Structure 1
Amino acid sequence: MLTTRIFRPTMTAGVVYARLLGSAAPLQSIGGIAELILNVEEEIKKQKDFSRGGGGNRAQVNRIDSVTMSAKLQDLNPVNLARVVFGNTAAVVSSTVTGEAVTGYKGGLIKLAHLNPSVVVLKKAAVTIAAAGNYEVRPEGLFVLDSATGITDGDALTVDYAFGGYDVIEALTEAAPTLEMLFAGVNEAMEGAANTVELHRVKTGALKSWGLINDDFAELDIEGEVLLDPTKTGAGTSKFFKVRMQ
């Protein structure tokens, strides 16, 4: 029986899968993960012994207060990002725009409705404004040069352009997600022995931090709580999480 194996040094690596609890979607990898930690916090009730001097306790009850999960996500893909900012996602397909109305100011950005414009035509009324000496095309829009001769502050302009597909995440539009999660790991200290941890019902919190500018790879720090799953029934069946190890 493997349960008799006492020698089991452990250093694990692996993949984390997740999906919205109760959805018909497949369990999908969340991508790279630098850290995944479970913490079991307990509440201890003690009954003091007052029958004699010297103190001490005559009884103790240990109850689980909560099971928490923390993780550092390495892949800032639209699904991960939407989950940790309580948002929704939408895919915008490539297309073209004709006559988008904007206002121009020297030394300022003209923010366009879509990302990465190309084949740009900027007009004042019916007159086309040349890019050279007037503006630069940037991923976020058009930057009007301080020395622009074809644009006056406050000019009403129109822009024609093409753009490629991209994803949009609208933050803080949804309730905190509840996920089913599965860690599929290998124990590198035991010749790659397999083990899994199934978290039945995880209520995830908002991201703890997101370094938009820093000197290292960005990660999403998140926390959550493993809640009771009432659908798990039967004697000896955990309503919280299950571990399988080789």
Structure 2
Amino acid sequence: MSAAVPDRSSILIVDDMEENLVALEAVLGPLDQQLVTARSGEDALKAMLRQDFAVVLLDVLMPGMDGFETAGNIKRLDQTKDVPIILLTGTDVDADYAYRGYSLGAADFLSKPIDPWVLRTKVNVFLDLDRKNRQLAVQAEQLRRLLVAEHAPRAGGRSAAAAEGPPEGTRPDSGRPEETGAGRSAAEQLAHITEMLVQIEMLLRDGENAASSEFADRIAELEKSVRRLGSVNGNAA
């Protein structure tokens, strides 16, 4: 099953100094992604509520709401809590800064001056994860739509499969479905598919803690189940 997913992800850069924003934009420019900047923690939170980001580069030393407080607020909001944060700070900082950042849920911590190659490499990891998660989300939605279309009610109030008559293997006298060749009735397969969709949605919400291979396995299993259910309905026609 193919799914078209936009190649470009969004990266949020947060720093109170314009020259730092310009420098970071220059470093990340070769990645050819959408770069969004914010000059304060408040502006960063507003931007994250307006759109989705693959990763946030967050300066620690900012006036008002500093990087630590901003990171804590990001992780407290359901809409933004799963977005990876890379904290950026100068070299003259307290030794416990890294510990404080990781305890707030930051994914990484870099000290200035930042090596452009190192920064692009770290950001690319999160861009790749974002692309995979968006691909899997699109596939899950396509499977959901396929499932709905397969069982959409027709004018008579019955599903498309039911409108064609009882499925093969149903005993006319009782109306009860027998086991299909795959060992499940159509109703049981439908219930299993619905359960898998719920599990995939839960994995997508917890994308930071779930392996991409687990997503792929669940999607592959779901595709097979939908095809089996489609073949059952096709044989019943």
Identify whether the pair has TM-score above 0.5, normalized to the shorter chain.
Answer: no
Tell me which interval the TM-score lies in, with the shorter structure as reference length: under 0.3
Q: Which has the larger radius of gyration?
A: 1
TM-score (norm 2): 0.22
The structure showing larger relative contact order (alpha-carbon pairs under 8 Å, at least 6 residues apart) is 1
TM-score (norm 1): 0.21
Structure that is richer in helix per residue: 2
Structure that is richer in strand per residue: 1
